[in-house]
Amino acid sequence: MAFSIATINVNGIRAAVRRGMLGWLEANQPDLIAIQEVRAPSGMIESLLGDGWHVAHDESSVKGRAGVAIASRTPLVSSAAAVGDDRFLGSGRWIEAAIDTPDGRGLTAVSTYVHTGQADDPARMEEKHAFLSAGVQRLADLAATGRHVLAMGDLNVAHRQVDIKNWKGNVGKAGYLPEEQAHLDRLFDGHGFTDLGRHFGGDGPGPYTWWSWRGKAYDNDAGWRIDYQISSPDLTALAKDAVVHRAPTYAERWSDHAPLVVTFDL
């Protein structure tokens, strides 16, 4: 059975709804959505999305910041917000939710938002590295249970040169540091997970998922590929395609990110 899963950094769900998010949901009918940068209190997601959604939400303790959620048409079996140690509690950066699947294995879906970081700020980069490391370990632990695992979200890391248009101008800057990319290498090469966006997207460059609101970045497709769907090995075999839903024009965007949608045979 075709099962459609989307990930999208909404850049504030209330603003995204005002700009047209609900029309996109109606037109594309995803079965499950991973949402980042919700920036809204718990309970508001359901009222904004409407009936028929089961929601798990990790709200940031800082009002108006971060926040991640999973909204599913299928009832959630369980959910959890903890990753790593207590330092990330209340950060609004990690939520995982489990649903049942027809093959009996079940799916644990993760929505995560990794902060941008700043190359000349050691404290911010240490926090980013610690979060990425904890996330990789958590995903490996989840996969070891035998469940299907799908990690989704805005990782704020361009994995390779083909994942960023202006790569030369970003050498040495956060989001394109070899130390950041190494966390993804460990997840892919060390634990067997698959970057579905690249798996189905070809050799590149792109397809990009984020473009600045400013200037002509969108019109010139000067973007970054920083939004991911990353699958455990057995789930990779069930993936059929991955599509970036880039709006036809700048005016039709409802976020500075585009949804990444993967269809699975679940």
* Full pLDDT tens readout for the chain, 266 residues: 899 999 999 999 999 999 999 999 999 999 999 999 999 998 899 999 999 999 999 999 888 899 999 999 999 999 999 898 889 999 999 999 999 999 999 999 999 999 999 999 999 999 999 999 999 999 999 999 999 999 999 999 999 999 999 999 999 999 999 999 999 999 999 999 999 999 999 999 999 999 999 999 999 999 999 999 999 999 999 999 999 999 999 999 999 999 999 999 99
Phi-psi label, residue 43: left if phi above 0, alpha if psi -120 to 50, beta otherwise: left
Residue 238's domain comprises: 2-265
- CA-to-CA dists, residue 174 to 117, 133, 163, angstroms: 6, 16, 14
The first and second tokens of residue 197, run together, are 């966006």
pLDDT recorded at residue 161 = 98
User: Domain holding 149: CATH number?
Assistant: 3.60.10.10
The first and second tokens of residue 237, run together, are 């075999």
- Report the candidate in 70, 79, 71, 64 with the shortest Cα–Cα distance to residue 14: 64
pLDDT recorded at residue 64 = 85
Residue with tokens 């067997």: 192
Torsions phi, psi of 154, nearest 5?
A: -90, 105
**Residue pLDDT, tens place only, 211-227:** 999 999 999 999 999 99
Report yes or no: 5 and 261 within 8 Å, Cβ to Cβ.
yes
What total of structural domains would you count in the chain? 1
pLDDT recorded at residue 85 = 83
